[in-house]
Amino acid sequence: MPIIGITGGVATGKSCVSDLISSHFSDAVLFSADAECARLVRENSEVRDELQRTLGEEAFSSGGHLNRQYVRSCIFGSIDLKRRVEAIFHPRVRQAWRSLAERSREKSEWMFAEIPLLYETGGWNLLDRVVVVACSPQEQIRRMVASRGLSEGLSEQIRVAQMSLTEKCSQSDHIIWNDFSFSCLSRQVRLLCVWLRHRYS
């Protein structure tokens, strides 16, 4: 069975698409790079120590929780810090999903891997198909402001720091356009899942 990558830009709806796909593939192995990063921060003392050395004591609250606002201001205020933080996470996340993919291939299981920086980290060539979830830049910024409480300026800074959606779409096998209603998104996902079942089953 195939290994399918799900990627896109910030606030395009990748996780929502992943959830919808999982409802059509209850037998599939699912991987989320964001969830793996969160797990590493919670459970991996080496990662926590490296983050603290890189970003300082303020990277964690007195209760031991990651100070997301502070971390965000650090990595989007310094290209060097951004690269150093990425170097902490990317190899570990890559190893996690590659190991899972190998086991899924051995067991002939479906696998869907949601990896926001798939193209940026060079992982796309290990997948059978890549789905890019995209929307307009205006919608990305609107969602970041509305759901994350970020300013328009910081939202735009985060958006342009990633590989452009135009470039990601040009390299993808499938595009899901998420500028419209949830029902429209659901229909697109359903059509994709029907196609995948037909292609690989």
Q: Provide mean pLDDT across the span 151-174.
A: 93
Q: Provide mean pLDDT across the span 163-185.
A: 96
DSSP 81-140: HHHHHHHHHHHHHHHHHHHHHHHHHHTT--EEEE-TTTTTTT-GGG-SEEEEEE--HHHH
Q: Provide mean pLDDT across the span 45-53.
A: 95
pLDDT in tens, 89-107: 999 999 999 999 999 999 9
The per-residue pLDDT for 73 is 85
Name the pTM for this structure. 0.93
pLDDT in tens, 22-40: 999 998 999 999 999 999 9
User: Quick check: 77 pLDDT over 80?
Assistant: no
**Residue 1: which pLDDT band, with cuts at 50, 70 and 90?**
confident
Q: Provide mean pLDDT across the span 52-76.
A: 89
Average pLDDT score over the chain: 94
H-run or E-run covering 29: strand 29-32
